[in-house]
Amino acid sequence: MSSVKGKLFEFFVYKLLIFCRFQPVVKDGLLVYNGPAGTMLQGLGQPHNADVLLTPPFQTPFYFPTRLLIECKCCEMEIGLPVIRNALGLREDINHFEIVTEEILKSRRSARSAGCISYPMQRYHYQVAVASMSGFKSTAISFAQAHKIPLVSFYHSLLFEDIQACISELEYYAQQDEVFAEKLLDLLKREMNAPDRDFYFEDSYGNIAMEFFNRVSAYRHLITIGLLEDGTILFLVRAEDTAAQEGGEQYDDGYTIHWSTESKAWELRDQNRKYYFELPRAILEEWKRSIVEKRHAALQIKRDYFSRIILFEGSTRQGSGREEIKTIYLSEKFMQEAEQELE
């Protein structure tokens, strides 16, 4: 049951986005439908299995409605160029899908025809991203950047290591017990389109499965998605403890960002809130390649990529509903002070 690990990863990615105001795509039974492999989406050449298919929290003005399809890869090795090439082909195929009937073709023969010249359906622009548990090779990153394919890596993630440990453990037990594996896969399939509920397993491995689902559900109150200027997605985990929220210098003109040695993650502080996140490899590699002194390069990267972040926040433990989407800006006072320290 090698698919168990992949399906658990898909569920985790799906839930993180759902918690941050993304919405499931409603299946119409024709263009988007349930198949043996899960959600299927029509393409120009063939229908495609969609690991995670969602509608973003808001749409871009003067543009076709957008949907997000995330290919989730749970491999032992880093994801290489072939997977990203496939993602590019997938994006092209589903975005060029069109229904053309004999009636439409006949109506096009006459420029003055008042008949139907296009099939009456809502058209969407699909963005395809790739999420990986094992990271990405440099060639895959370069190709994805050139073709504007977002990459999301959970490789060696300290922020989500509890989830990764649960996934590995459940995969091991699923290999030992085929009945348990089938029940787990069935539950994951149902829960991809259902709200959170209490989980119960009679199997001897049930406690581990319940722990996984409970841990994923806990991120409802902690996870925030940050969208950078270049379209890069950050998963920010909100600090829970009061001391962490209150500590540090406050800036009233925006947020601050710096490396936290204690938490071994990047720290973003926005007035009375504190988040931890991990820097995407593409940005990290740019910093490493810099020919200037590293601290100067770090400041420039902050200005280039983090001058503004759009936050999609889930519900809080204190609040009864979800917060609005908001835009936060990098504190200019913070940046000026950092630059003065280097002079």
pLDDT tens string 202-221: 656 677 888 898 899 899 88
Helices (H), the chain: 3-19, 81-95, 102-107, 138-146, 161-176, 178-191, 206-218, 242-246, 281-289, 294-306, 332-342
Please check the confidence at residue 235 and state whether its pLDDT lies above 90. yes
The string of pLDDT tens digits covering residues 22-53 is 999 999 999 999 988 889 999 999 999 999 99
Q: What percent of the chain has pLDDT over 90?
A: 45
pTM, entire model: 0.87
How far is residue 314's CA from residue 48's CA, in Å, rounded to a whole number? 30
Quick check: 81 and 140 in contact, CB under 8 A? Answer: yes
How far is residue 261's CA from residue 294's CA, in Å, rounded to a whole number? 17
Residue type, 10: E
